[in-house]
Amino acid sequence: MKKYIPISFLILAVAVTSNAQVALGDKVPNFSSIDQDGAKWTLKKNVKSADYLVVYFYPAAFTGGCTAQACSYRDQKGEMASVGAQVVGVSGDKPETLALFALEHSLNFTLLADETGELATLFGVPQNEGGTINREIKGKTLDLARGTTIKRWTFIVDQKGTLIYKDSDVNAAEDSNKVVEFLASLK
């Protein structure tokens, strides 16, 4: 006797599988992305380069809050190092836009492109459609497009690849301070 599975059940099973996300205390699956230099960046290769990896998601390069957040992480590189942290920023921007953003603001950490929102989905970060903004950079007006607009959330992964921190209510200007305070409390 043949058994039939209702189509609605199959669709639900696929949706649940595709929306699997990492939770506090879980191992973060290895992932890769393209950085601002056009190079492939992988979690497995970079997670052990410091005691902690701060992964912060932000909506779009060259916007007010995102620039304040990035510059705060830039300015606190010494404090991050003192608590054993390396930083990586993630947005739906193209790698070329991230390169301009890093250059324009002298950013001293890695930026990852998540144009399709796969990394945001892995971490459970909400996202909306992408968009285009016009910005003047080095005397030229450029149209900067992004594939998705990701909400501002911050995570910390330890050397073993375990997710130990999640902040879904991030204040852009205070995010790096909050991360330093949390990591200092672990010492």
**Kind of pairing, strands 85-91 and 52-57?**
parallel
Q: Are 123 and 153 in contact (CB under 8 A)?
A: yes
**Annotated active-site positions, please?**
66
**For residue 85, which of 183, 170, 8 has the smallest C-alpha distance?**
183
Distance from C-alpha of 62 to C-alpha of 133, rounded to nearest angstrom: 9
Collapsing DSSP to helix, strand or coil, 23 comes out as coil
Query: CB count, 10 Å around CB of 23?
Result: 10
Q: How many residues are given for the chain? A: 187
Under DSSP, the state recorded for 6 is: -
Distance from C-alpha of 147 to C-alpha of 18, rounded to nearest angstrom: 19
Distance from C-alpha of 32 to C-alpha of 46, rounded to nearest angstrom: 10
Which neighbouring-strand residues pair with 132?
Answer: 145
